[in-house]
Amino acid sequence: MDTDWDKLRPVLTESVGTTVYMVLATFVAGGLIGLFLGTALYTTRKGGLLANAPIHWLLNVAVNIVRPIPFIILLAALGPVTLEVVGTTIGTEAAIFVMIVAASFGIARIVEQNLVTVDPGVIEAARAVGAGPLRIILTLLIPEALGPLILGYTFVIIAIVDMSAMAGTVGGGGLGNFALVYGYQRFDWEVTLVAVLIIIAGVQVVQFVGNWLARRVLRR
Amino acid sequence: MSESGTPAVEFRGVGKTFTAGGAEHVALREIDLRIERGEILGVIGYSGAGKSTLVRLINALEKPTTGTVEISGTPITGVPESEVRRLRRDIGMIFQQFNLFRSRTVAGNVEYPLKVARRPRAERKARVAELLRFVGLSDKARSYPDQLSGGQKQRVGIARALATSPSLLLADEATSALDPETTGEVLELLRKVNRELGVTIVVITHEMDVIRAVADRVAVLAEGRIVELASTFDIFAAPRSAPARRFVDSVLHNRPAETELRRLDELHRGRLVTVEVDDRNRVGAALTTAARAGVHFEIVYGGVGTLQDKTFGSLTLALDGPEAAVDAVIAEFEGRRGTAPGHPAPTNRPEGA
């Protein structure tokens, strides 16, 4: 079967744009919310800077409920909430909302795990000079864990690309949607391959930049 | 060390109990302790004795279960967190593992407490340069902690601890991760901090060598209690508690242990006597008298040196001769000891052992 690339090219270009938009929007919003949730998880644990057992328990349970749900099911399960917040359950914006929810909780765990690796002695040293919890979190805790955090966030971007592909099923658009509609459903293996190659190339670039940044921060 | 006025730190009836998983662990009990301004107080104890908890109560990194802690007459217990943070700026702390901020340069580490204290930028830069000069690391300002040796890291730790010009410095096993030579350099620096800047220092350690090198007074901690508190000289010369004696014996090898004493007794004729040697107890004179009275003597064990600029040591002698003459020599040793109050019971007699 001959693929008519002249017709497909504008669709492909638009799909790439949509994917980049979905991934970036999710990464920025989910990244910030995840950073907040993860830091809260870490600091509210027993012996933490803001030790608070009830809040820690609540956050922990929330993360454990959201994280294991397969994304494609979360898309459907969050339907009523998405409708309330975005006004619709289909399209790019609706998909982004669900992606942000999934990414936030996923990132929360990654952030928490990386903060745990910070030497508690460093935090004690900061407390000993009279620094308050907020200052310690912002000026020490996060900078000390920055290298591994960058690697964790790089991993997350790739997971978000994965999610964005599934968003195609609710009319989210993007490369995933393109591969499904113009490739898989039309039995056009070439189109699927092109979509896959573009995704692979994008992921490579992201991983490369992430590694480079982490190396710079870790000075290795 | 001034005996009058407000002490640098005062513990009043302080106890600390940790609760973990329903089990209670008493770390400290009924601690009453005055740390005088300008002194270097050593706190020695085995691991688990409560040393680290004791030092963390001073800057309120731990809160006591009972009792109060005062810093220069101001309570640091039972006050709001903001007041605790303000008081901490007058208390520096250095750590066994240095606890430097790896994401910051040497200069950034030293500057951090000044930023916390909201000092203006120009003042911070000047102070950082001054401190790095003081600890001899001016050329390392832009290095990162990972690029430094252990001794250099601890000197950065000391510079950071001194940034806000505290009047009190807490050293928690500050030399335990260092080799002997570097330990000497860091201890020398602590002495300099004490002498030149007049900073009161609390040194937590499990090594009696550290105490001997820097401390003016020693508190011996065992099972959460201060079992002995005395000048460093007195602790070495005449430890009264069993833990203190074990610590002293760990570094002084001038007294024979029980088994060695038995062996010495088999090897030598006559009676074995162990004599403390200090500025007031000159063994030579007594032995000259002994020789005149027909008592043969042999020095079979011991060592003499100086401690805090005073003569200090112990000699074990085998005295052989007429019973009455030997008794007279021993009486003379004990008589001399009588002129040196505060050093009780230095003589051991293994007869019949």
More confident residue, B334 or B227: B227
B350 is written with which tokens?
A: 């293994």
Note the pLDDT of residue A111: 95
Closest chain B residue by Cα to residue A122: B99
> Which of B61, B97, B101 has the CB atom closest to A128's CB atom?
B61
Q: Kindly report the nearest CA distance between residue A128 and chain B, in angstroms.
A: 6
State the Cα–Cα distance between residues B128 and B336, nearest whole angstrom. 55
Kindly state whether residues B222 and B313 are assigned to the same domain.
no
Domain boundaries in chain A? 8-218
Q: Which residues of A touch B177 (CB under 8 A)?
A: none
Task: Give the distance from residue B219's alpha carbon to the nearest chain A alpha carbon, in angstroms.
Answer: 23
Domain presence at residue B13: yes
Query: What was the pLDDT predicted at B4?
Result: 57
- What ipTM is given for this predicted complex? 0.82
From CA A92, how far away is CA B280, in angstroms rounded?
A: 93
- Based on the fold, state whether residues B181 and B70 are members of the same structural domain: yes
Do B36 and B177 fall within a single domain? Answer: yes
pLDDT values of chain A reduced to their tens digit, one per residue, 220 residues = 566 777 778 888 888 888 889 899 999 999 999 999 999 999 999 888 898 899 999 999 999 988 888 888 888 888 888 888 888 878 888 888 999 999 999 999 999 999 999 999 999 999 999 999 999 999 999 999 999 999 999 999 888 888 888 877 677 778 888 887 777 778 878 888 888 888 888 888 989 999 999 888 887 5
Q: Which residue segment(s) compose the domain that B97 sits in?
A: 9-251
Cα of A12 vs its chain's centroid, Å: 23
What single string gives the DSSP state of each residue in B118-169? T--HHHHHHHHHHHHHHTT-GGGTT--GGGS-HHHHHHHHHHHHHTT--SEE
CATH number at residue B184: 3.40.50.300
pLDDT-based confidence at B250, cuts 50/70/90?
confident
pLDDT digits (tens, 9 = 90+) for B332-352: 877 765 433 333 334 444 433
Beta strands in B143-294 (DSSP E): 168-172, 200-205, 217-222, 225-231, 271-278
Those residues whose C-beta lies under 8 Å from the C-beta of residue A167, and which sit 6 or more positions away, are A22, A75, A92, A95, A96, A98, A99, A173, A174, A176, A177
Contact assignment for A125 to B144 by CB distance below 8 Å: no
Is B238 found in the same domain as B110?
A: yes
Residues A93 and A121 sit within 8 Å (Cβ to Cβ): no
What is the gyration radius of the CA atoms in chain A, in angstroms? 20
Residue B3 lies in a domain: no
Chain A stretch 82-141, residues whose beta carbon is closer than 8 A to a beta carbon of chain B: 119, 121-122, 124-132, 135, 139-140
> Are residue B109 and residue B146 in the same domain, yes or no?
yes
- Six-digit token string for B119: 């000092």
Spell out which chain B residues touch chain A, with contact meaning CB-CB distance below 8 angstroms: 59, 61, 81, 85-89, 91-93, 95, 97, 99-104, 112-113, 115-117, 144, 146, 160, 163-164, 170
Say whether B103 and A144 touch across the interface (CB within 8 A). yes
Per-residue pLDDT band for B256 (boundaries 50, 70, 90) equals: confident
Euclidean distance between CA atoms B38 and B40, whole angstroms: 7
Domain boundary among B205, B232, B251: B251
CB contact under 8 A, A128 and B101: no
B101: CB partners within 8 A, 6+ apart: A122, A125, A126, A140, A143, A144, B108, B109, B112, B145
Question: B199's torsion region: left (phi>0), alpha (psi -120 to 50) or beta?
Answer: beta
CATH superfamily assigned to domain A8-218: MetI-like (1.10.3720.10)
Of B220, B251, B282, which one is at a domain's C-terminal end? Answer: B251
Domain match, B34 and B152 both? yes
**Within a domain: B353:** no
The tally of domains found in chain B comes to: 2
Whole-angstrom distance, CA of residue A16 vs CA of residue A19? 5
Q: Does A47 touch chain B if contact means CB atoms closer than 8 Å? A: no
Q: At residue B150, does pLDDT exceed 50? A: yes
- CATH assignment of the domain containing B327: 3.30.70.260
For residue A190 the two structure tokens come to 């070439």
- Between CA A124 and CA A119 the distance in angstroms is 9
Asked which of B194, B217, B251 is the last residue of a domain, the reply is B251
* Whether B171 and B266 share a structural domain: no
Q: What is the dihedral of CA B72, B78, B80, B85, to 10 degrees?
A: 40
